[in-house]
């Protein structure tokens, strides 16, 4: 169950703090089931363009997405967090989304195609 994040706003931060979070767009190029995850999840391989390359992450998004609906989809991910061990894989980015009314993840992404690797501003 996800925490209700609509109840409280995060504390105010300086614009320079926002700039420290590097959120980029990438295209999902491969999706694998992740049976060793504690909760149902996929392993996503996301192409962030020449500068960053292909990175992988674990994503608990099986409720609304299938591998077929994810391939070719552009998603937004934080690319400057340290890598994190999740079971047998090293998750290299944090793909972002919003909880729906039941707490399931709905991915965030651009509504029109943009070049892979573009930074959110």
What domains are defined for the chain?
Answer: 23-107 (2.40.50.140)
Residues near 96 by beta carbon (within 8 Å), at least 6 away in sequence: 23, 75, 76, 77, 78, 107, 108
This model's pTM is above 0.95: no
Average pLDDT, the chain: 94
pLDDT grade for 7, boundaries at 50, 70 and 90: low
**Contact yes or no for 89/43 (Cβ under 8 A):** yes
% of the chain surpassing 90 pLDDT: 88
| Joined tokens for residue 26 | 């990438």
| Joined tokens for residue 117 | 């690797």
What integer pLDDT is reported at residue 8 of this predicted model?
86
- Asked if residue 2 has pLDDT above 80, the reply is no
| Joined tokens for residue 72 | 């070719």
What integer pLDDT is reported at residue 5 of this predicted model?
55
What integer pLDDT is reported at residue 105 of this predicted model?
96
Per the listing, tokens 């400057």 go with 80
> Cβ–Cβ contacts within 10 Å for residue 48, how many?
20
User: 19-72, pLDDT tens digit by residue?
Assistant: 999 999 999 999 999 998 889 999 999 999 999 999 999 999 999 999 999 999
> Cβ–Cβ contacts within 10 Å for residue 96, how many?
16
């Amino acid at each position: 169950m996800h925490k209700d994040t609509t109840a409280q706003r995060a504390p105010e931060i300086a614009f320079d703090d926002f700039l420290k979070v590097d959120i980029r767009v990438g295209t999902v190029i491969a999706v694998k089931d992740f049976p060793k995850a504690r909760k149902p999840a996929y392993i996503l391989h996301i192409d962030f363009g020449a500068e960053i390359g292909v990175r992988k992450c674990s994503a608990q998004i099986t409720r609304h997405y299938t591998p077929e609906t994810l391939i070719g989809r552009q998603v937004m991910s934080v690319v400057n967090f340290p890598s994190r061990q999740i079971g047998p894989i090293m998750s290299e980015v944090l793909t972002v989304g919003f909880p729906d009314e039941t707490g399931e993840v709905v991915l965030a992404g651009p509504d029109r195609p943009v070049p892979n690797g573009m930074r959110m501003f």
